[in-house]
Amino acid sequence: MRAWFSILAVIVLVSGCDLANTSFPVDADGAEKPVEELATNVKIVRLTAENINQFNRKRNLAGSRTTVAAGEMWNYRIGVGDVLDVVVWDHPDLTMPAGDRRTPLESGLRVQSDGTFFYPHVGQVTARGRTPEQVRADLSARMAEFIPNPQMEVKVVGYNSQAVSVTGEVSQPSRQKLTDVPLTLLDAIDAAGGLTKEADARLVTIRRGSKTHRVDLEAFLKNGVSANNPLLRGGDVVSVPRIELQEAFLLGQLVKSATIDLTRENINLTQAVTSIGGIKEGQADARGIFIFRDQKDGMHVYQLDASNPAAYLLGTRFVLHPNDVVYVTSSPIYRWNRLVSSLVPTLTTVRTADLIATE
């Protein structure tokens, strides 16, 4: 479990104290308390119909376009180790010099380490970096000296020079050879047995040379963003990470304390609270539904006064973010400054630990 669960102990400890002279950051009459009465690194926001929309920031779960350059259309280029089959029509002695009982792969011409292969009459022929059509044109021109208007065909029968690797959260991590058939990212993952249940298709990476590109494959699968299913090239390394659980925490005077999974969907405050049965009648102070959110500039605390049931309509317009802590106070109300002063340092410390752990 992530370190954020350590905040539970602090909140339970604070909520169990016998506190007198208690108050909210926003008093019962709606008047905001002076800033100097609160912790200096805490920003207080009372959620109202007038300001709720500026805090209704849904996370982008729809996906984004990939950063991998589209490049040219796929055209296989011969490499070292490939096996070529050369056919010269009406000249079986050149087509099958090793006999007709051997397959093209067995009798084919292997491209050597210098990128060439030997062919009778013409000697060494450059193949590396060329397409089969380019090799055929070169070979035909050179063979014309010995055979008038030679009719030739060159094709790859052994694809050995180029491959991609697929690793991470796929059923069968593998190395896959590239052929004259284009291989897309999805094709490669399917050939590796598909994604596991723990895979995060939004954060797939392709390492190409010295650069690593992030590809949101889920945007292609769910929204048809075609750029997010790029063609792979020789040497690419595809890595599918394990999905990182993203949660918000619901604590205090609720029917039950719980964590809410935000990994794959946006969930608003009202959805989260009602999904666990709501607040405890007679024990919770509906004026004190607080959302703690640790930001770069300090702790932001949002207060929803739900003493009027209509306030839950406002809650539907407040989307929770990962690591938000929703806390419902008890009746009588606990001293606000005591709660904030005890909770904020712990939240900040845990957030720092999480950042260090992910670096």
Distance, in Å, from the CA atom of 340 to the CA atom of 322, rounded to the nearest integer, reads 20
Q: Percent of the chain at pLDDT above 70?
A: 74
Between 22 and 115, residue with greater pLDDT: 115
Q: What mean pLDDT is predicted for residues 268-288?
A: 87
Q: Which of 128-132, 176-180, 332-336 has the lowest mean pLDDT?
A: 332-336
Contact 4, 323 (CB under 8 A): yes
Confidence of residue 80 (pLDDT cuts 50, 70, 90): very high
290 token code pair: 């607080």
What pLDDT is recorded for position 15? 44
| Statement: the pTM of the whole predicted model exceeds 0.75 | no
CA dihedral over 332, 336, 341, 343, signed as positive or negative: positive
CATH superfamily placement of domain 163-240: Outer membrane lipoprotein wza domain like (3.10.560.10)
Q: Decide if 3-59+266-358 and 163-240 have a common fold.
A: yes
Residue 337 has pLDDT above 90, yes or no: no
Q: What mean pLDDT is predicted for residues 11-33?
A: 42
Contact 128, 80 (CB under 8 A): yes
Residue 175 has pLDDT above 60, yes or no: yes
Backbone angles phi, psi at 335, to 5 degrees: -60, 120
* DSSP string across 204-220: EEEEETTEEEEE-HHHH
Backbone angles phi, psi at 355, to 5 degrees: -65, -40
Domain with residues 3-59+266-358, CATH architecture: Roll (3.10)
204-258 residue pLDDT tens: 999 999 999 999 998 888 888 888 899 999 999 999 999 988 899 999 889 999 9
Residue 35 has pLDDT above 50, yes or no: no
Backbone angles phi, psi at 160, to 5 degrees: -125, -10
Residue 65 has pLDDT above 70, yes or no: no
What pLDDT is recorded for position 190? 97
Residue 194 has pLDDT above 90, yes or no: yes
Segments making up each domain of the chain, as ranges: 3-59+266-358, 83-158, 163-240
What pLDDT is recorded for position 348? 58
* 3-state SS assignment for residue 299: strand
CATH class of the domain defined by 83-158: alpha beta
Residues 6+ apart with CB under 8 A from 1: none
Residue 12 has pLDDT above 50, yes or no: no
* 3-state SS assignment for residue 202: helix
Confidence of residue 36 (pLDDT cuts 50, 70, 90): very low
